[in-house]
Each structure stands twice: as structure tokens, then as C-alpha cells.
Structure 1
Amino acid sequence: MDPERQQQIMGYFIEEAKEHLDTLETGLLDLQSIVSDQERVNELFRAAHSVKGGAAMLGFGSIQKTAHRLEDSFKVLKEQPVTVDEKLETLFLKGFDTLKDLLEKLQGPYGIRDEDADRLVSESEPVFKELQDYLDSLTGGGGGGETGAKGEAQPSKDLPRETIATLQQMLKLFKQQADAENRKRLGVLCNHLAEMGSEMENWQNLVNTASKAIANPKNSYETLAPVVIKELKYASDFVAVGKPDTTPPSPVLLELAGMPATEAGVNLGANEFILESDPKAAAKKLIEMFDKKQLTQLTKILVKEVKSGK
């Protein structure tokens, strides 16, 4: 992948991560008030999970690990009754500060250096251990979910974790030559993703639509990569919080696949969970989600639909 394109993908991740950091900071500063609101706690969990997934795809292990530690802690709040006090708020904010510092260094002129990343992660370990121990004491040692051989909390569903690994492989292929053989390999990975969520209708529709878009030789990898990777990752984020059927293919992906919404067999109204019903709010969200080229494609689709009278 050329440096300009690589920088663009990095920009997507950083901008998205900034939004998630805002969500985390706002929630943590008012943790005592929101802990009883399950949806607000879910927002914090999803924000940490999304940063973790994006960092994993791009190979930023330090950011991935730190976001994962926060995600595990929010999982406790989701699953166990916890009385939030000043000590708990302080520990959460210290952990958040590490994630924020890592992302700020990533945005620097030289990116994040390994030695800086290692130092920040190392310094945060006592904080996260104290946070986990304190959460255990507040919940009677209940913890935050299943644990693996090394004691790390494991995701409640396999799909999000397996999806990240597959998307990493797809991202590597998108950096190679866009020939028939390479597109075939990407198709195999799409089939693998489809098999992971065989019981989820919208997941199947999304993966099949992505597969058709990839198979279309008219679509360049430069156009495909940000759309396909982002939509599949976003859908897996919803699976992680028990909402597997809220992310059908976007109009942009449907256009790349040459499929009208009726052929795809999805109800785009299902995206109301993501987009506000108010047109201005929905437009703002779309501007945040898509780049200029994608927005141009989306505009053309909307104009076409309006003119057709559908």
C-alpha cells in the first residue's frame, strides 16, 4: 500500500479513536451517576472495545492491550452490581489516561516509539491490577466474565475476536496487487466470516455483500478497503454487546456490490439504532463515518432514489 493510502487509514483510526476517548472521558467523569444506566455503561464498553479492535488491526499492541484492560473492567460494571466511589473513579481515570497518552503519542510527528509504548504500558500495570483487585472486592470476587489460562477475561462471544484476526489478514491482502487470485483469497476469507455467524441474518447479508463488492474488478482496493474493513469491524462490535442484527450493509457497500437494497434483502431502517432519525443529526453522523469519496457516492445513491420516487 502506498504511503498516502496508509496514512489515510491511520487517519481513520485516529479520528474514530478520538471520538471513543471523548465517550470514555465523559462517562468516567460521571461514573457514579451512570453506573446504574446499563446503556451508558454499554457505551463505555463499546468505546474501549472499538479502540482495541482498531489497534489490533493496525498492529498497535500497546494501545490494544490498554484498551482491552479497560474493556475488561467495564465488563465487570456491566455484569455485576457495583457501588462507585472516589477510589474506583480515580483508578478508572488513571487507566484511561494511559490510553489517552498512547494515542497522543501515535499522533505525534514520529508516531509512537516502542520504548515509549512499553514504558507507558509497564507503568500502567500496577494501576490496572489495583483496579481489577478493587472491582473484585466490590463484587465479592465475581470478576468480569470467563477467564483463560493466563487469567485474562475472555470475550463472551467468539465472533468479535475471530473477526479481528480475519480482518487483519484481509487488510494485508488489500495491500497487495488487485488481481483475480488475490480477490479469490479475499473471497475465501469472506466465506470464513460468513461461517462464523451462520445464525445471524444481517451478518450474513453484510459479509455476502462485501464478498460481491470485492469480486467486482471495477472496484479498486483503495476504495474497497476502508469500507469493507470498517463495516465488518463495526458489525462485530455490535455482536460483542449482544446486538447481532443491527448493522446491515450500508448504501455505499451495496453500491460497490451492484446491489439495490431490495436485492440485498435488508431493511436499512434497522440502522436507526446507529443513525438519529433527525436528518441533520443523521447527516452529521454520516459525515463522521465516511470520507469525501464515500459521501459523494452516497449522495449519488440518495439523489437517484429520490428521483425514482421510491
Structure 2
Amino acid sequence: MDAEQQQVLEYFIEEARENLDTIEKGLMDLVATSQNTERINELFRSAHSVKGGAAMLGLQSIQHVAHRLEDGFKVLRDQPEVASPEAQSLFLQGFDFLCNLLEHLQNNGDLEAEYTRQIIEQSDPAFTELQALLSAASQTTPQAPQVDRWESLLAATPIASTPAAADDAVTGLLQQLLEQFRAEETAEQRQQILQTCQQLRDLSAETAWQYLLDICARAIAKPENSFAQLAAVVVRNLKQASDQWQLGRADQVAVTPALARLAGGATDPYTATVVSIPIEPNEAARALAASFERAQLLVLATQLVQVLREG
């Protein structure tokens, strides 16, 4: 494994560890966690992120186990009332298998075929039992009462994720990008990488997503930036952004300082600006609309709802 591949792998392991910490904390009291919309969403997002990163690196066993956890969290997100001590025990079993895979990868730098086969064979029965338990519970649990429109808004349920086809397209193009960065550095290869960035850009019309890809292209086009430098920064930033986009949060995509430096000092268009806002609500709304782009207003609205919910 060359230095570039090793650095990308280390980034994946570092982020996966953070996501596993989030999952573990949520599983320690699953029944209480399931009643908190934001916390169960965190578990879903964490499993989704590990799955996506593993898919990009071709780590199929980690992708498989993370996907099974994600499926379980999706049920809890939609029907929190099905959480139980029995479900918690099965979730923890599946989680332990994912931890074992990541620890083996960190210690050995690879996942041998025989080892991963054993993990999959051992973990699948637990996940199958978990899905059966959640399915049976969902069929016997009374439907939750309807809530009014304002309470539904304050619940801050995430926007629906992108379709599976788009999810697969992002992962496939990120894998392609990673392979292209591993090739010999030539002007022609740099152009191929830029074409892949354009394909990624075309997957969404969201302003923040397209801006990020424009900054990536600017950094890639600079011949003084080596493929090793670019892979470590560009792939990581795009992976983080794709997690947000695939979960319906493209307006929260941002350019990291490291990527901005490679692009020549590019800045995020959503950097804070001082704006004078009147006290009168309608006037304040008009002032904000005149000062910010739509994507920025969506982020602001989300934050305001969160503040109201917590208050």
C-alpha cells in the first residue's frame, strides 16, 4: 500500500471510530435514544457514513455490516416505539462485529477474505433475528397519534435521503476518483479526474454541492498540487459532503480549509457576513432574503427551528 492509499485509509478509520463512538453511546440506552429524534438520526447517519466510506474503499465486509445496522436504525427512526431490550441486545451484537472488522483493519492494514467471510457468517443471523423482531413489533404496535403541523416541524425530521440510484452513483464516482488519483501524474490523467468531478457536480443542482465541486476542480487543475495531496484532501471532503447530500442535507455541504488552500485561497460562499436586521419580524425576513442565497436561508431556517425546539 503506497503512502497515498495509507493516508486515505487512515482518514477512513479515524472517521469510522468517531461514528462508532456515536453509535455505541446511543445503543447503551436504546429505548431512551429511540425517543429522541435527533439522537436516533445521529445513529442512522453514523452507520450510513461508515457504509459509504467502506464502499468507496472497496471494504465490502464493513460496508455490509454497517448497512445492516443502518437498516435497523431506519426502522427505529420511522417507528421508535419498536425499541426494546431484546432489540438493544441484537443491535449490540451486530455493532461488536463492526468494531471487530475495523480493529482488524487498523491492526493489519487489510481484511483477509477468510476473516471477513467468518464475520459475515457470524453476524448475519443476529441481523436477521433483529429485522424479524423489529418487523413483528411494528405490526403489533399501535400507530402513533397525529401531531399538528408546528409540532411536526419542530421534530426536525431530516429531509428524505436521495434515491438508491443516486447514492450508488456518488459512491461509484468516488471510487473512480480514488483510483484515478492512484495513477501516474500526467496532464491527461488530471483531465480525466476533472471530468469525474464534473460528473459528480452534475448529480445535484444544490448550490453548495456544485460550489464544492467547483473548488475541487480548481484545486485539481493546479499542476503544483500532487495527486497524493489532492487525494488526501479532495476525497475526504467529497466523502463528508456526499454523506450530507445523500441524507438530503446538501445545503450543509462546506469547503474545508485544507481544500480551500489547495484551490488557492478559495473561500466558502457561506462565510458569515455582518447584516443589519430590523427588530420587526416581517422586515427582518425581508432583510435576510435580500442578503442571503436560498441555500443559506434554508440552513438558517433549520437552525432557528432547532433553537425553538430546544427552548
Out of 171, 174, 184, the residue aligned to residue 177 of structure 1 is: 184
Give how far 1:223 is off.
Answer: 0.9
Name the counterpart of 2:83: 84
Identify unmatched segments of 5+ residues in structure 2: 142-160, 273-295, 300-311
Give how far 1:140 is off.
Answer: 1.9
Q: Deviations over 1:111-138 (max 9, x none)?
A: 3221011011011111111111111112
1:48 & 1:81 partners in 2: Cα distance?
17
Name the counterpart of 1:27: 26
Indicate if the aligned counterparts of 2:47 and 2:67 stay in contact, CA closer than 8 A.
yes
Name the counterpart of 2:277: none
Indicate if the aligned counterparts of 2:219 and 2:225 stay in contact, CA closer than 8 A.
yes
Indicate if the aligned counterparts of 1:81 and 1:139 stay in contact, CA closer than 8 A.
no
Ranked by relative contact order (alpha carbons within 8 Å, sequence separation 6 or more), the top structure is: 2
Determine if the alignment matches structure 1 residue 249 to structure 2 residue 263. no
Name the counterpart of 1:105: 104
Indicate if the aligned counterparts of 1:35 and 1:41 stay in contact, CA closer than 8 A.
yes
Q: Which runs of 4+ in 1 moved over 6 A?
A: none
Indicate if the aligned counterparts of 2:19 and 2:46 stay in contact, CA closer than 8 A.
yes
1:213 & 1:141 partners in 2: Cα distance?
55
Give how far 1:110 is off.
Answer: 6.2
Give aligned-pair identity as a percent: 42
Identify unmatched segments of 5+ residues in structure 1: 143-154, 274-310
Name the counterpart of 1:211: 217
Indicate if the aligned counterparts of 1:163 and 1:233 stay in contact, CA closer than 8 A.
no
Taking the TM superposition and a 5 Å limit, the aligned residue runs for 1:1-310 are 3-109=2-108, 111-140=110-139, 156-157=162-163, 158-198=165-205, 200-261=206-267, 266-269=269-272
TM-aligned CA distance change 1:241 to 1:82, over 3 Å: farther
Give how far 1:85 is off.
Answer: 1.4
Indicate if the aligned counterparts of 1:159 and 1:239 stay in contact, CA closer than 8 A.
no
Bigger CA radius of gyration: 2
Name the counterpart of 2:144: none
Q: Deviations over 1:128-163 (max 9, x none)?
A: 111111111122299xxxxxxxxxxxx643433311
TM-score (norm 1): 0.77
State the Cα RMSD in Å. 2.1
Corresponding residue SS for 2:228: helix
Q: Deviations over 1:67-107 (max 9, x none)?
A: 01111111111122423211010011111011011111112
Which amino acid in structure 1 is aligned with residue 75 of structure 2?
V
Give how far 1:238 is off.
Answer: 1.1
Indicate if the aligned counterparts of 1:160 and 1:237 stay in contact, CA closer than 8 A.
no
Give how far 1:260 is off.
Answer: 3.3
